[in-house]
Structure 1
Amino acid sequence: MGSIKVLDSAIQNKIAAGEVVERPSSVVKELLENSIDANARQIEVFIEESGMKQIRIVDDGDGIHHTDGPLLFQRHATSKIDMDYDLFQIRSLGFRGEALASIGAVAKVTVETKHVDGNPVFIRFEGGRLAEQIPGKERKGTDITITDLFYNTPARLKYMRSMRTESGKIIDVIQRMALAYPNISFRLVLDHSEKVMTKGNGNLKEVISDIYGLNIARHAVAFETRDADFHIRGFLIRPEITRSSRNYLNISVNRRFIRSFRLSQAVINGYHTLQPKDKYPIAIIDITMDPKLVDVNVHPAKTEVRFSKERELNQLLESAVRSRMKDEMLIPDVTRKAPVARQQTTQDTLDFSNVERQPDKRTETGRHHPVTRNFSKTSTDYRIVPKKTVLNETQEAIGPPAERHVQKPAREAPPAESQTAPDTPIEAAEEAVEKEKLPYLEIVGQLHGTYIILQNDTGMYMMDQHAAQERIKYEYYSENITRGKTDRVPLLIPYTFEFPMSDIIEIDDRQKRLQSLGFDIEKTGIRQYAVTAYPNWIDDRNPEADIEELIHFVSSKSDFSVSQYKEEMAIMMSCKQSIKANHYLDRPQIEALLESLGSCRSPYTCPHGRPVIIHMSTYEIERMFNRVMK
Structure 2
Amino acid sequence: MGQIHVLPAHIQNKIAAGEVVERPSSIVKEIVENSLDAHSTVIEVFIKNSGMESIKVVDNGRGIDYEDRTLLFERHATSKIDTAYELFEIRSLGFRGEALASIGAVAKVTLESMREDSTPFKIVYAGGKYDEDTVWHERRGTIIEIEDLFFNTPARLKYIKNLRTEAGKIIDIMQRMALNYPNVSFRLVFDGKDRFKTTGNGNLKEVINILYGIQVSSNTLEVQAESPDYKIEGYIVRPEVTRSNRNYINLSINHRHVRHFKLSESIINAYHTLQPKEKYPLAFLNITMDPKLIDVNVHPSKVEVKLSKETELLKLTERAVKEALMETELIPEVEHKTPKSEKNEQTAMDFTARHEQIREHIDSYTPPVRQTPETFKERPEQEQKSAYTNPFQEARPAQKESAPKDAPAYVYNEPLPKKEKLPYLEIIGQLHGTYIIMQNETGMYLMDQHAAQERIKYEYIYANIIKENDGIPLLIPYTFEFSFDDVITIDEKLDELQSLGFDIEKSGVKQYTVSRYPSWIKAKNPEEDINDLIEFITETDNFDVNKYREEMSIMMSCKQSIKANHYLDKNQMTALLKELGKCASPYTCPHGRPVIIHMTTYEIERLFNRIMK
TM over 0.5: yes
Residue 55 (structure 1) aligned with residue 34 (structure 2): no
Matching residue of 1:319: 319
Distance in 2 (alpha carbons) for counterparts of 1:449 and 1:193: 53
Name 1:254's counterpart in structure 2.
Answer: 254
Partner of 2:561: 582
Over residues 257-313 of structure 1, what are the superposed CA-to-partner deviations in whole Å (9 max), with x where a residue is unaligned?
000001000110111111110110000000000000001111110001111111111
When residues 337 and 258 of structure 1 are mapped into structure 2, their CA distance, relative to the original with a 3 A threshold, is closer
Q: 1:120 to 1:266 in 2, by over 3 A?
A: same
Q: Distance in 2 between matches of 1:27 and 1:338?
A: 42
The 1:580–1:165 alpha-carbon spacing in structure 2 relative to 1, beyond 3 Å, is farther
The DSSP-based 3-state class of the residue aligned with 1:584 is coil
Matched ranges for 1:125-274 at <5 A: 125-274=125-274
State the match for 1:370 in structure 2: none
Give the aligned CA root-mean-square deviation in angstroms: 2.6
* Deviation digits for residues 183-224 of structure 1 (CA, Å, limit 9, x no counterpart): 000000001110011000000000000000011100011110
AA paired with 1:121? F
Q: Pick closer, same or farther for the CA change 1:61–1:337 going to 2, 3 Å.
A: same
Residue in 2 aligned with 1:16? 16
Deviation at 1:256, TM superposition (A): 0.3
Of stretches 124-133 and 21-30 in structure 1, the one that deviates more from structure 2 is: 124-133
SS where residue 18 of structure 2 aligns? helix
Asked whether the equivalents of residues 64 and 113 of structure 1 are also in contact (C-alpha less than 8 Å), the reply is yes
Q: Give the Cα separation in 1 of the matches to 2:198 and 2:140.
A: 21
* Equivalence for 1:496: none
Cα deviation per residue 1:51-110 (whole Å; 9 max; x = unaligned)? Answer: 000000000001111111110000000000000011111100000000000000010000
C-alpha change, 1:581 and 1:284, in structure 2 (3 Å) is farther
Structure 1 partner of 2:104: 104
Say which SS state the counterpart of residue 145 (structure 1) adopts.
strand
Q: Distance in 2 between matches of 1:158 and 1:269?
A: 40
Letter in 2 for 1:7: L
Q: Does 1:81 align with 2:77?
A: no
How many Å separate the matches in 2 of 1:24 and 1:116? 30
- Given that residues 47 and 54 in structure 2 are in contact (C-alpha distance below 8 angstroms), is that contact kept between their aligned partners in structure 1? yes
Residues 395 and 216 (structure 1), Cα distance of their counterparts in 2 relative to 1, 3 Å cut: closer
8 Å Cα contact 1:253/1:288 also seen in 2: yes
How far residue 581 of structure 1 moved from its aligned partner, in angstroms, is: 7.7
Distance in 2 separating the partners of 1:585 and 1:224: 41
The amino acid across from 1:79 in the alignment is S
Check 1:155–1:587 CA distance in 2 against 1; reply closer, same or farther (3 A cut): same
**Contact kept? 1:73, 1:104, Cα under 8 Å:** yes
State how 1:340-359 maps to structure 2 within 5 Å.
Answer: none
Letter of the structure 2 residue corresponding to residue 284 of structure 1: F
CA contact 1:34–1:94 (8 Å) conserved in 2? yes
Match of 1:299 in 2: 299
Task: Map 1:464-479; keep pairs closer than 5 Å.
Answer: none
Aligned partner of 1:288 in structure 2 is 288
State how far apart, in whole Å, the 2-side matches of 1:277 and 1:194 are.
Answer: 36
Counterpart residue type for residue 153 of structure 2: T
CA 1:147–1:80 in structure 2 vs 1: closer, same or farther (change >3 Å)? same
Q: Distance in 1 between matches of 2:310 and 2:147?
A: 41
- Structure 2 Cα separation of the partners of residues 251 and 587 of structure 1: 45
Could you tell me how far apart the structure 2 residues matched to 1:53 and 1:580 are?
Answer: 60
- Quickly say closer, same or farther: Cα 1:204–1:338, change in 2 above 3 A: closer
Deviation of the 1:117 alpha carbon: 2.3
In 2, the alpha carbon distance for the partners of 1:286 and 1:155 equals: 39
Question: Which digits, 9 at most, give the CA deviation of each residue in 1:324-378, with x for residues without a partner?
Answer: 1111100012243787999xxxxxxxxxxxxxxxxxxxxxxxxxxxxxxxxxxxx
Structure-2 separation of matches of 1:81 and 1:66: 20
Report how far residue 47 of structure 1 moved. 0.2
Query: Match of 1:144, as an amino acid?
Result: I
Which secondary structure state, in structure 2, belongs to the residue aligned with residue 105 of structure 1? Answer: helix
**Map of 1:576 onto structure 2:** none
Task: Output the CA distance in 2 between the equivalents of 1:111 and 1:449.
Answer: 66
Map of 1:403 onto structure 2: none
Cα deviations across residues 23-43 of structure 1 (Å, max 9, x unaligned)?
100000000000000010000
Q: 1:203 to 1:585 in 2, by over 3 A?
A: closer
**In the alignment, which residue of structure 1 is the partner of 2:25?**
25
- Report the 3-state secondary structure (helix = DSSP H, G, I; strand = E; otherwise coil) of the residue aligned with 1:224: strand
Please, which runs of 5 or more residues in structure 1 have no aligned partner?
A: 343-390, 397-445, 451-578, 589-630
Distance across 2 between alignment mates of 1:117 and 1:48: 34
How many Å separate the matches in 1 of 2:203 and 2:560?
A: 44
Does residue 3 in structure 1 map to residue 3 in structure 2?
yes
Distance 2:117 2:152 in 1: 36
Q: Is the Cα contact below 8 Å between 1:449 and 1:584 reproduced in 2?
A: no
Q: CA–CA distance in 1 between the matches of 2:92 and 2:206?
A: 25
Letter in 1 for 2:120: P
The one-character-per-residue Cα deviations of 1:394-436 (angstroms, maximum 9, x if unpaired) are: 699xxxxxxxxxxxxxxxxxxxxxxxxxxxxxxxxxxxxxxxx
Aligned letter for 1:96?
R
Q: Equivalences for 1:489-504 in 2 at 5 Å? A: none
Is 1:251–1:258's contact at 8 Å kept on the other side of the alignment?
yes
Secondary structure of the structure 1 residue equivalent to 2:233: strand
How far off is 1:234 after superposition?
Answer: 0.4
CA distance in 2, matches of 1:77, 1:257: 24
2:433–2:565 contact (8 Å) kept in structure 1:
no
Counterparts of 2:319 and 2:301, CA distance in 1: 30
| Contact 1:250/1:285 (<8 A) preserved | yes
How far has the Cα of 1:14 moved from its partner?
A: 0.6
- Secondary structure of the 2:86 match is helix
Q: Which residue of 1 aligns with 2:517?
A: none
Contact 2:65 2:114 in 1 (8 A): yes
Q: How many residues align?
A: 363
Contact 2:57 2:145 in 1 (8 A): yes
CA distance, structure 2, for counterparts of residue 338 and residue 256 of structure 1: 40
- AA partner of residue 38 (structure 1): A
1:584 is displaced (CA, Å) by 2.4
Q: 1:95, 1:395 → 2: CA distance?
A: 61
Identity %: 56
Q: Distance in 1 between matches of 2:209 and 2:265?
A: 25
Change (3 A) 1:164 1:340: closer
User: Which structure 2 segments of 5+ residues have no match?
Assistant: 343-429, 436-449, 455-557, 568-613
What TM-score comes out, normalization by structure 2 length?
0.57
Instruction: Name the SS for the 2:16 alignment partner.
Output: helix
Corresponding residue SS for 1:77: coil
Q: 1:582 offset after TM fit, Å?
A: 3.1
